[in-house]
Structure 1
Amino acid sequence: MAAVLLATICAVVYGMADFFGGLATRRSRVLAVVLVSQIAGLLFVLPLLPLLPGAPSLGGLAWGMGAGLCGGLALIFFYRALAGGVMSVVAPTTATMSVALPVLVGLTMGERPEPLALGGVALALGAVILVGRDSTTAGARMAFGPVVQALAAGAGFGAFFVLLKQVPEGTGMWPLFGARLASVTLVGALALLTGRTLRPGRGSLPTIVTAGVLDMAANVLYLLAAQRGLLVVVAVLVSLYPASTLVLARWVLKERLNAVQASGIGLALGAIALIAATAA
């Protein structure tokens, strides 16, 4: 039950981070948003290192750094896809790919959830697609580039989940420190090579910092959930993050939640209930 609860809260926090990250990209360049948010996340995790049990290890830091490189690239691809594509296509494409890879890896590694939990996984996969649907852009076409970027972002997020699952026990939050250090270095190097500005747009810094802190908080929750549950189940629950983004957009930006998206959120709640029932 602990893994289900942690993964569900993680999905909510990830969705909140994406909401604030999306707002930030309206005022700042993608690399600036990614780098500043990653630095904010790094500063957030530093005080947690001595507070949470665990000691640094070469293996834990290595898995974390690998995850950070994948996650950093995924964020860049994701924001670029959003900037050049249709949200109703980018969101479900990224989320579906991000859950497909961990599920495949988990099953390959021999994970076998109970039948009821598998039913919840199936419902969650359907929910991921429905919550990303926007009836106002039904049938909208998108250029090939953003589709590829969305797929690449999903693969990167999925790899992030898989690699963090491999972290040895007893390493605490040190793998996340390694992950964030790697992603900050990667994005900073890309900015230098491409000559892109890393200065946030006017008034966007608080929003970017909020996105970075929420993203790291979600990473902490995911790592704790992955240490306590099956990758197949945890990754699927975490992939429901677009639902909380939609709810925030409805409350804060007054965007309408169409019937398809509402049914997707209902399906997500049903999936969580089914998976939780098997863990009770």
Structure 2
Amino acid sequence: MVTVLALSAALAYGVADFLGGAVARRSTALKALAWCVPMGLAVVLVAALLAGGGFGWAAMAWGFGAGLAGGTGLITFYRALARGPMSVVAPVSALAAAVLPVGVGTLRGERLDAAVLAGVLLCLVAIGLVSMENGGAKEGTGPEAGGRRRLLDSGPLMAGLSGACFGIFFVLLKSAGDDAGLWPLVAARAGNLVIVVAALLVTLRFRGGESGPRVPGRALIGLALLSGALDAGANGLYFIAVQDGMLSLAAVLTSLYPAVTVLLARIAYSERLRVVQRIGMAVAIAGVALVTTG
């Protein structure tokens, strides 16, 4: 059951990231999230009310902390998607998001069976292979494409930072426990919203009241709302999976979402899959098979 839930979360995350990235490319990361995050909050609030469960302040605090980390990760991730190819950004973020929970789970004494451990290691290798960027690719030309500014604002670097934030999000949600129903997810989404609103206010202040182009058209707004709903659903699937199973296993399987994003980017934007990325996807399939049979 943990495997099914975590892989379902990966599917939902992958589609949500693709849709959110498409919106961010036509507007800005913050404007896309201004639609996505409130939608996600509404979805998890309804789900929490239907699911019931106790309202524990400790669990809510863990959830809110997870939301602060996740909100920071979402901003940097959506900006990375707007700056670099999805087929590079998504896997880099996922690799960073997977490594941290595995380390924390190991330190907490989690021990996987040999077959499952081999599958988890293969999944980590797969994420790394899918994230390998063409060394000849360039993000831009001219003075703005070089130096410190290019490094700090590059897609892969921001993707790595977002992955670290997502890893913290995964760990803190595990710590929230399962005694409070889905309410920790509501707190997490509230934390997301706090970060996005704060970032918008800072942007308005430093840009003289201008926060960038709006999300153009009802179609893109609809995609942003769908992205937020799918992301919230993925949060719920991961939360249930990680409460029923080990952190290292649930986080790694959930972090396979780049395969979905990469495939959708290949279809929609004709982003080429390199041979090493195709090998990575094959390794991911083998890893998932080992985890499932183990």
- TM above 0.5, one fold? yes
Which of 143, 146, 151 is equivalent to 1:144? 151
- SS state at 1:25 partner: helix
CA distance in 2, matches of 1:18, 1:87: 9
Matched to 2:285, the amino acid is L
- SS state at 2:217 partner: coil
- SS state at 1:200 partner: coil
- SS state at 2:284 partner: helix
CA distance in 2, matches of 1:48, 1:81: 30
- SS state at 1:112 partner: coil
Report the count of equivalent residues. 275
Matched to 2:77, the amino acid is F
| Offset, 1:246 | 1.9
| Offset, 1:256 | 4.3
Structure 1: which 5+ runs fail to align?
none
* Match status 1:202 vs 2:217: yes
Which of 217, 225, 237 is equivalent to 2:233? 217
Do the aligned residues in 2 keep the contact of 1:27 with 1:202 (CA within 8 Å)?
A: no
String of CA shifts for 1:79-98, please: whole Å, max 9, x gaps. Answer: 22233345554333322111
CA distance in 2, matches of 1:45, 1:82: 25
Do the aligned residues in 2 keep the contact of 1:53 with 1:172 (CA within 8 Å)?
A: yes
Do the aligned residues in 2 keep the contact of 1:37 with 1:212 (CA within 8 Å)?
A: yes
C-alpha RMSD over aligned residues? 1.9
String of CA shifts for 1:88-128, please: whole Å, max 9, x gaps. Answer: 54333322111111011000111111111110111101111
Matched residue, 2:143 = none
- SS state at 1:226 partner: helix
String of CA shifts for 1:162-210, please: whole Å, max 9, x gaps. Answer: 0000012221110010011111122112211220258422342011111
Structure 2: which 5+ runs fail to align?
140-149, 205-210
Matched residue, 1:95 = 94
Distance 1:254-1:152 versus aligned 2 partners, 3 A rule: closer
Taking the TM superposition and a 5 Å limit, the aligned residue runs for 1:1-280 are 2-85=1-84, 87=86, 89-133=88-132, 137-140=134-137, 143-145=150-152, 146=154, 147-195=156-204, 196-197=211-212, 199-203=214-218, 204-278=220-294
| Offset, 1:45 | 1.4
CA distance in 2, matches of 1:151, 1:259: 22
Matched to 2:195, the amino acid is L
Distance 1:152-1:56 versus aligned 2 partners, 3 A rule: same
Do the aligned residues in 2 keep the contact of 1:191 with 1:198 (CA within 8 Å)?
A: no
CA distance in 2, matches of 1:43, 1:9: 21
Distance 1:55-1:29 versus aligned 2 partners, 3 A rule: same
Matched to 1:215, the amino acid is D
CA distance in 2, matches of 1:93, 1:63: 26
Do the aligned residues in 2 keep the contact of 1:35 with 1:198 (CA within 8 Å)?
A: no
Q: Please, which moves more after superposition, 152-161 or 79-88?
A: 79-88
CA distance in 2, matches of 1:194, 1:255: 31
String of CA shifts for 1:226-250, please: whole Å, max 9, x gaps. Answer: 0111111111111110001122234
String of CA shifts for 1:138-176, please: whole Å, max 9, x gaps. Answer: 433563212442221111000000000001222111001
CA distance in 2, matches of 1:171, 1:5: 23
Do the aligned residues in 2 keep the contact of 1:18 with 1:245 (CA within 8 Å)?
A: yes
| Offset, 1:68 | 0.5
Distance 1:148-1:251 versus aligned 2 partners, 3 A rule: closer
CA distance in 2, matches of 1:93, 1:248: 17
Matched to 2:106, the amino acid is L
CA distance in 2, matches of 1:248, 1:89: 13
Identity of aligned residues (%): 43
